Amino acid sequence: MALAEAGGRGRLLLWPRVVLFGDSITEFSFQENGWGASLAERLVRKCDVVNRGLSGYNTRWAKLILPRLITKSTGAENTVAVTIFFGANDSALKDLNPKQHVPLEEYAANLQSMIQYLKSVDITEDRVILITPPPLQESAWEKECLAKGDKLNRCNATTGEYAQACVQVARDCGTDVLDLWTLMQKNQDFSSYLSDGLHLSTKGNSFLAAQLWSRLEKKLSALPSLLPYWREVDHMNPEASLL
């Protein structure tokens, strides 16, 4: 039997997908021990995990890109969850990093705009999870800045204001939120969660993966495994099992 003919007998298999949209902390999430890779491993055979992390990006740029990533005709119906994870760059200090800095009120408005856009293509708020920026370990990040000839261009208190704004947007819009900034600082020294003061270490990736899964599990636990387990395939008549 020709493949084309066989393919015509079964309907096209479309994996549901989770879209991870964010900055470098998302872009790096498929590295070894990354939080995105951990999520993909949990959802294998059930769901594709799509990395749309863009290193260095802020919400001003992200809201322009989002309609080019998800439209009604390109997978919105099949998108079961979207994470929006920005703020580490938006919260950069204006005087020292004007290119990435986005004012606090605009940051909040941009997050709201992205949620509204997703709703306009039928991705409802219950499928959206906002993630706040993690806390900033200033002394470690200052070393990174100095190595590049720059001054310390972020501070943890400012990042916290952006995290609070992110939490408030989630409340106002009815989405879930993962407040990394607060959770990572709860009763502990958070420096071990960060590799360079800004980006996540192996421990930080593991922490984020666990926190995110606790929010996604209830949304995605009902998804079936796609295609039968190999022992359940009728080897005498595989078409009956697979098409």
pLDDT of residue 83: 98
Question: How high is the mean pLDDT in each 10-residue block of the chain (243 residues)?
Answer: 48 90 98 96 94 98 96 83 97 93 98 97 95 93 86 92 98 97 91 94 96 92 87 91 89
Residue 92: both structure tokens together: 């950069």
Residue 2, domain member (yes or no): no
Cα 31 from Cα 132, distance rounded (Å): 21
What does 78-102 look like in DSSP terms, one character per residue?
TEEEEEEE--TTTTS-TTT-TTT--
Q: Count of domains in the chain?
A: 1
Residue 162, domain member (yes or no): yes
Query: What is the set of active-site residues?
Result: 24, 196, 199
pLDDT of residue 199: 95
pLDDT of residue 2: 45
Residue 222, domain member (yes or no): no
Residue 234, domain member (yes or no): no
Q: Residue 12 carries which DSSP code?
A: P
pLDDT of residue 6: 45
Residue 150, domain member (yes or no): yes
Helix axes 104-120, 59-69, angle to 10 degrees: 10
Residue 98, domain member (yes or no): yes
pLDDT of residue 55: 97
Residue 192: domain span? 17-216
Residue 26, domain member (yes or no): yes
Residue 230's CB: how many other CB atoms inside 10 A? 8
What does 144-163 look like in DSSP terms, one character per residue?
HHHHTT------HHHHHHHH
Give the list of residues 6+ apart from residue 136 with CB closer than 8 angstroms, or none: 88, 154, 155, 156, 159, 197, 198
What is the reported pTM?
0.92
Is residue 132 within 8 A of residue 97, CB to CB? The reply is no
Residue 50, domain member (yes or no): yes
CATH number reported for the structural domain that contains residue 77 in this entry: 3.40.50.1110
pLDDT of residue 4: 44
